Amino acid sequence: MQIRALVLSMAAVMGVGGANAQTASVNFDTPAWAVAPQSAVLSNGVTWSVNAGGPWDLITGTLAGGIPYAHYNVGATRVQTWTFSEPVNLAFSIAGLNCASEGILFSEGTQATNISLDHAWDSATRIIRNGGVVAQSKGASTSSFQLLNTTTLVLDTRGMADVGCRRGLTSLQVTPVPKPVPEPEPPIPVPVDNPLGLAALALGLLAGAARRVWRVR
């Protein structure tokens, strides 16, 4: 009976799937970031880094047109690259498009999820621009996007209001892409009421578990 209980317990444990992927937010303002490069490890285990840009800009008063907002500036290099330690799904928002022709070109595969009425989005070129009204108060308007199964996110602002205009991410959420679950081993046809058979089944389950661990590594 002890062998039988051991076998059933092992089978139950091995049948449990992996944990669900957890979403974690990059916290730009706790404390407020300085200029890049920056990097950290999120609560879900993903390591991120950004190579250029910054700082975290809090725009208030006259510059904000009376509507305060903040973003992590793309910066003077005009190309900002975020890198992640494993494939991830990204959800992010941008703000700061209040200059004439001001815009951002995103990585291939970026899709819009919500576009501000103050912005103009071209899905073919993956460029988001100021919608045509030049006003300080338009800087607070945000648009949101997603990029799936990637290890990089690029924001490119070259040739789109390069001088004196700031723009960048206001939020960034990171979710690891779920890893494939190994196919289960075929069942071992052993009589469960035979002690020797149960012992063989236990050894077979242990061998299967060892193979799974090896594959994960």
CATH number of 113's domain: 2.60.120
Structural tokens at position 72: 């992590």
Mean pLDDT of 109-116: 98
Tens digit of each residue's pLDDT (9 = 90 or more) over 98-108: 999 999 999 99
Residue 121 lies in a domain: yes
d(CA 46, CA 29): 19
Tens digit of each residue's pLDDT (9 = 90 or more) over 157-185: 999 998 889 999 999 999 999 988 887 87
Residue 14 lies in a domain: no
Closest CA to 97 of 118, 117, 76: 118
Domain limits at 86? 24-176
Task: State the pTM of this model.
Answer: 0.75
N residues, the chain: 217
Query: What mean pLDDT value characterizes the chain?
Result: 85
Closest CA to 114 of 63, 67, 171: 171
d(CA 114, CA 111): 9
Residue 215 lies in a domain: no
Residue 212 lies in a domain: no
Residue 200 lies in a domain: no
Mean pLDDT of 177-205: 71
Residue 111 lies in a domain: yes
Residue 205 lies in a domain: no
Domain count for the chain = 1
Residue 73 lies in a domain: yes
Mean pLDDT of 24-46: 92
